[in-house]
A and B are shown apart, each in its own frame.
Chain A
């Protein structure tokens, strides 16, 4: 009798733990979905802000100073690259992890290690998202995107001792110099907006893989329950 009760108790505990694990996966999935939608919203508003600032810079400086014909076609290394690595999840499966390598070209080979900004996803708190609809830009941004990349202000010294914050500012100015050295502050703001948009894109990519992984976990748990 006692043994029966003990077995029953163990079984109930086991079911309770399973339910807890299922709820945890479900919560993680919902959180990642919420974060994904929030980031999409944020991306569209950042991009629309960037495009408007670019138009504003064009309005201030003139169309002859800001146009696609000035972009540099000389062969040069990419200002920023994207690294895709495999990240182990629960030692069972791996999912791709995207890392933005800013100023990874040989033009700035003095940067120390550890500068890569890993934008791995985190559980997001439910915050109010920025108000914005999906705004499509009439102009393809592939041309301009590569020229508006810059670094965050991380205070890590390079091997030469020059603070990265100054190196970042120099690289930022260098990328804008295709439009001239004395450019309007509006163009610099547009550059920062596109930089933020690029970081958000990488965050979205990482969150997307997490979301898919969580969805598979939830799906598996549901199948186990039904089976």
Chain B
């Protein structure tokens, strides 16, 4: 009843932002473009127009993605500066995933002797924090934590991965996934504490995210040096697949075994039924389509924070769509454009 006192204005704002998402007609026009300049021309009639209008030709796909991301960042910052507790904390939680990605990018790039400035340019703007450049001086995870991350929101997530081992590709990968697991679990607990419609809707969305991560970790680790135990440790401790699905996924050795596990769960049967046996190329698109369906459903209820999470994720999906369309146009592969575009409306 009292939601609108503190959250009403921002809920109205985010619902207005949602109305600006690209429609199927917009995507049809974009998919027929011959060049990136054509894409820019079509986007100029959308809310992305002001962000792309001053970009000179020839355009690159990365430029289109950067400018579209800037729009998302501006909208997010507008909402964050207007938000009060606990909505402001909720909005900050949405960006921790990008923060983790940026930390891993800087650490990996430094390991490969890349220039820090070059790496900072590649970081996602939603995941930036003040001392991020200092990450380049750390030699192991203990130093990473002590020098930089202790003062960031990621600090609580480091307890499970603090070691004095030198950073290498495998340790970094385990660090990435361990941090993300801890973040998802923390976000989940926070939403449960909020209660009400927020807890109900966010539980479903975060559980789906946890399950999808488990499947991706399983498929990506097939044929690698990651042991079954290590794989199991990277799965989150919640979600539909927890705990029995995780036990079965941990021992999978190929995509068909993963399919066999997932088809026991009705919500994921429809996803895997779209794939042929032995094939995993379309799995990402199938998961994205399911995610978009659930995110759109979040807008059917009022007076909860799930709409903010849903909007951010839908915009990110839209940017992924634009990235894919741009790549297909730039590479003259328009016949493949529908392989990965997920329509939102």
- Min CB–CB distance A139 → chain B (angstroms): 8
User: Which residues of B in the span 81-128 have a Cβ within 8 Å of any Cβ on A?
Assistant: 101-102, 104-105, 108-109, 112-114, 118-119, 121-124
Interface of B is mostly: helix
B173 is an interface residue with CB less than 8 A from chain A: yes
The answer to whether B169 touches A177, judged by C-beta atoms less than 8 angstroms apart, is: yes
The answer to whether A69 touches B169, judged by C-beta atoms less than 8 angstroms apart, is: no
Q: Identify the interface centre among A51, A52, A69, A169: most chain B CB within 10 Å of its CB.
A: A69
| Chain A residue nearest in CB terms to B316 | A62
A73-B112 contact given A55-B324, A60-B284, A177-B169, CB 8 Å threshold: yes
What are the residues of chain A within 8 A of B124 when measuring CB–CB?
A: 64
A8 is an interface residue with CB less than 8 A from chain B: no
A125 is an interface residue with CB less than 8 A from chain B: no
What are the residues of chain A within 8 A of B65 when measuring CB–CB?
A: 63
A227 to B336, CA, bound (A): 57
What are the residues of chain A within 8 A of B225 when measuring CB–CB?
A: 173, 181
A55-B224 contact given A67-B122, A70-B105, A185-B281, CB 8 Å threshold: no
- Within 8 Å by CB of B101, from A52, A62, A184, lies A62
The answer to whether B331 touches A56, judged by C-beta atoms less than 8 angstroms apart, is: no
What are the residues of chain B within 8 A of A184 when measuring CB–CB?
A: 216, 219-220, 284
- Within 8 Å by CB of B60, from A58, A138, A178, lies A138
Render B252-268 as a binary contact track against A, CB cut-off 8 A, 1 for contact. Answer: 00000000000000000
The answer to whether B112 touches A183, judged by C-beta atoms less than 8 angstroms apart, is: no
The answer to whether B112 touches A70, judged by C-beta atoms less than 8 angstroms apart, is: yes
What are the residues of chain A within 8 A of B121 when measuring CB–CB?
A: 69
A80 to B331, CA, bound (A): 27
B139 is an interface residue with CB less than 8 A from chain A: no
What are the residues of chain B within 8 A of A185 when measuring CB–CB?
A: 219-220, 280-281
A63 to B62, CA, bound (A): 9
- Min CB–CB distance A190 → chain B (angstroms): 12
- Within 8 Å by CB of A55, from B105, B170, B280, B327, lies B327
What are the residues of chain B within 8 A of A135 when measuring CB–CB?
A: 331-333
A126 is an interface residue with CB less than 8 A from chain B: no
Render A113-149 as a binary contact track against B, CB cut-off 8 A, 1 for contact. Answer: 0000000000000000000000101100000000000
A185 to B119, CA, bound (A): 25
A59-B320 contact given A135-B331, A180-B176, CB 8 Å threshold: yes
Q: Which residues of A contact B (CB under 8 A)?
A: 48, 51-52, 55-56, 58-60, 62-65, 67, 69-74, 135, 137-138, 169, 173, 177-178, 180-186, 189
12 contacts between A and B (CB under 8 A): A59-B324, A59-B340, A70-B109, A70-B114, A72-B112, A138-B60, A138-B61, A178-B108, A178-B112, A180-B108, A180-B173, A182-B226
